[in-house]
Structure 1
Amino acid sequence: MEHLTPKQAYEYLHTTREAVFIDVRSEMEFLFVGHPDGSILIPWVDAPDWEINPHFVSHVKTAASINRPVVLICRSGRRSVDAGLLLEQAGLKEVYNVLHGFEGDLDDTYHRNKVNGWRFDGLPWTQT
């Protein structure tokens, strides 16, 4: 798995049109916190059980078709690493993780979006 900063991921997604951009956060995060433009939601862990999605790999394989690169993002870049490792174990060859995720690391006062991340870098996102 290769790790990209949010700006590198944004550039990669615009130069590699066949890449699939997957947001692995929960549906609630995707809808209420917002999500990167062009990303699709395939939760790694979601309500109501908060267990690893048993269909995660098959849903990603469907979205990525045969051999399309997969770029994963989560809140801080941690869940997406675990999801990426599972995808690699399942045979996907080109898996990328967005470092610092959508909201970034916590600052000294335990707030996000103040240190790094997709939103901090001013990259396009939507809140629906």
Structure 2
Amino acid sequence: MSAVDTILQQAHERAVASNLPYQGALTPAEAAALLAAHPAAKLVDVRTHAEWQFVGFVPDSEMNEWKQYPKMELNPGFLAALQATVDPQAVVMFLCRTGARSHDAAALAAANGYSNAFNILEGFEGDKNAAGQRGQVNGWKAAGLAWTQG
């Protein structure tokens, strides 16, 4: 079994164990490894434009807001934009700040024909530390994975 297959299998087992409505749940490190090793894999960042600009983002990710700042209302064009940019057969990984919005986006994608939809656990910034700050406990940034400032 290849490294990609192993990662996908572990993510799928997490989804089954948690009764998730999509293919799998990835750690940030697993998602980064998939992006590096699987040329057809896509990362869709569902945070807001403000988050991309002020907090940072993963290079080469697709950016498609799940909720729109400042009212944080659902983006009515989310699914249409996803369908215009990501093949439904591709491995598609969804990322948000902590893993909540990306969970919802992965569920919507799976319900609309994306059979390889994955949520990235912990998100870009992860949980807050004792001082109430994100980006240090867990998540993409805390794992030391590639990102750039907006």
| Band the TM-score falls in, shorter-chain normalisation | over 0.9
TM-score of the superposition, structure 2-length normalised? 0.81
Match of 2:97 among 60, 67, 75: 75
Q: Which residue of 1 aligns with 2:63?
A: 41
Task: State how 1:1-128 maps to structure 2 within 5 Å.
Answer: 1=22, 2-128=24-150
More helix by share: 2
* Structure 2 CA distance for aligned equivalents of residues 97 and 71 of structure 1: 6
* Structure 2 CA distance for aligned equivalents of residues 66 and 4 of structure 1: 18
Q: Which residue of 1 aligns with 2:13?
A: none
**Partner SS state of residue 35, structure 1:** coil
TM-score of the superposition, structure 1-length normalised? 0.94
CA RMSD of aligned residues (A): 1.2
More strand by share: 1
Contact 1:20 1:63 in 2 (8 A): no
How many residue pairs align between the two structures? Answer: 128
Tell me the CA shift for residue 48 of structure 1.
Answer: 4.5
Question: Which segments of 5 or more consecutive residues in structure 2 lack a partner in the other structure?
Answer: 1-21
1:48–1:111 Cα change, 3 Å:
closer
Tell me the CA shift for residue 91 of structure 1.
Answer: 1.6
Q: Share of identical aligned residues, percent?
A: 37
